[in-house]
């Protein structure tokens, strides 16, 4: 949990605009506070739920931010987009 909060705090510190801060807060709510709630809601309704955040936490926060996010921005680099794509593609297999 500490690494998640540290990671979220670093992402927030890099946010330069109100919109970016809003996205960072959404990230904190989505990744830290409500993942179980979202998953249980989806499962109760037969909706497939894919955790797109988990792969970004496999590395230390400073490494992940430098590798997967555009500096000073909340958007993914090419590597970040690829990581998210690979995660979704693996989760859904041939069931697009």
Listing DSSP states for 20-82 in one string gives HHHHHHHHHIIIIISHHHHHHHHHHTT-----SSGGGGSS-HHHHHHHHB-TTSSSB-HHHHH
d(CA 56, CA 10): 13
What is the pLDDT at residue 68?
Answer: 94
User: Of the candidates 72, 76, 77, which has an alpha carbon nearest to the alpha carbon of residue 21?
Assistant: 72
> pTM above the 0.85 mark?
no
What is the pLDDT at residue 36?
Answer: 67
pLDDT tens-place string over residues 64-84: 999 999 998 888 999 999 999
What is the pLDDT at residue 24?
Answer: 60
pLDDT tens-place string over residues 6-63: 666 666 565 544 555 565 656 665 666 566 666 777 778 887 778 888 898 899 989 9
Give the distance from CA 79 to its chain's centroid: 13
């Amino acid at each position: 949990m500490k690494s998640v909060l540290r990671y979220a705090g670093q992402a927030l510190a890099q946010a330069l605009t109100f919109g970016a801060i809003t996205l960072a807060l959404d990230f904190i709510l989505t990744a830290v506070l409500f993942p179980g709630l979202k998953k249980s809601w989806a499962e109760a309704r037969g909706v497939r739920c894919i955790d797109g955040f988990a792969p970004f936490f496999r590395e230390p926060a400073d490494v992940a931010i430098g590798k997967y996010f555009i500096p000073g921005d909340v958007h993914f680099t090419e590597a970040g987009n690829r990581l998210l794509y690979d995660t979704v593609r693996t989760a859904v297999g041939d069931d697009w």
